Amino acid sequence: MVIGVNRFRKILLLVAAASWVALSMAPVHAQAATKAKTTKSAKKTVTAKAAPKRTVTASRKAQPAMAKASSRKTVAVASKQKGRVKVQMAAGKSTSLHKVAVQRKPSATRAVMREAVAPRLSEGSRLGLRGMDDPLELNSTVALVIDQETNEVLFSKNDAAVLPIASLTKLMTGLVVAEAHLNMQEMITITQDDVDTFKGSSSRLAVGTTLSRGELMHLALMSSENRAAHALGRTYPGGLSEFVRLMNRKAVELGMRDTRYVEPTGLSSSNQSSARDLATLVSVAYQMPILRDLSTSPSYEVDLGRRTLHYNNSNGLIKNPSWDIGLQKTGYISEAGRCLVMQAKVAGRQLIMVFLDATGKLGRMQDAERVRRWVEVQTDARLVARPQG
């Protein structure tokens, strides 16, 4: 009986010892298990982070070459941005390649969008006038050549078509100002109201620039300065609305039935006229010495104190010694195409030339040259055919 009790006590002691060992080892096992899970999770994270690197680079051998190429692309892309921003790359890092992709996508998208946008058709093209041929093969959709002294029409093409006239509008602007006999020495300041809201075009006459009315007239007629022309209308007695009303009233007085003005610059495509009406306007404007002198001035410098602005005539034929031009005005907006009106002496004859909706930057000048040579040939032929004695 005593032996049984001793064995029972030993068994209890062994069970207690085993339980104590198990309880003491539990935290160690738990910590080891947690560490194993953390290690396994970390491996997965590293693998996930490394995945983009494997997808970007084709192979370890190709990686250095791709990194160099990517560096060059990044600098090229960055150099096109404002401020010439330089992108700093960490060599060999996949994040650098990712930056290249992110920066190149917007510029590529803009390029595709620019290619997808079709150029805006001029009003003449929209009306189907450009398909009409003429013996001189002119670039202009509309053309008219008149002998100023006899009113003889020497050449015409779609001369009754009513189209946007762009900055040819400024010729009427100058005529209204000149006939009002305003003080040309009065100083006028360019304001925010003179900033182009039709096309968003730029100007070298910053808001706050102050010039005389005469200088603004010079820039408007010679180099087609939009803010100058708008300021002339804005500061006219009665304001801009009164000035536009007088422009239209003058057109009516001259019998320009196809003509309508809504503002003094020509930036609005609602300013419209026909070649016939414009020939009338040129003939009347030619009678004003100030319009002749300012519109045919080759160049002009504006002294702004700290800097001097140099302006050139928008008509390249002015500086051509083979031309004798008495008055001129150019114009361009996309709806009107390239336009030109001139009074010029050709083969001893005083001619008025009107060209509307020409294609290409030099199209209207080329048309004027073709007409001049054609008139010279026609005049020579008539002189040869004239009876002697």
Q: Given 170, 223, 250, 269, which residue is catalytic? A: 170
Mark whether 122 is an active-site residue: no
What is the distance between the alpha carbons of residues 186 and 214, in angstroms, rounded to a whole number? 8
**Could you tell me which residues come within 8 angstroms of residue 375 by beta carbon, excluding any fewer than 6 positions away?**
145, 154, 346, 347, 349, 351
DSSP annotation string for 242-265: HHHHHHHHHHHHTT-TT-B-SSSS
Q: Write down the H helix ranges in the chain.
A: 2-56, 63-79, 94-116, 123-126, 169-179, 213-222, 226-234, 240-253, 275-285, 289-295, 363-385
Q: Given 94, 96, 224, 269, which residue is catalytic? A: 224
- Crossing angle (nearest 10°) for helices 226-234 and 169-179: 40
Mark whether 41 is an active-site residue: no
Task: State the residue for tokens 């001619």.
Answer: 351
CA distances from 362 to 159, 330, 352 (A): 21, 12, 19
What is the distance between the alpha carbons of residues 115 and 147, in angstroms, rounded to a whole number? 45
Q: Given 70, 96, 122, 167, which residue is catalytic? A: 167
Catalytic residues: 167, 170, 224
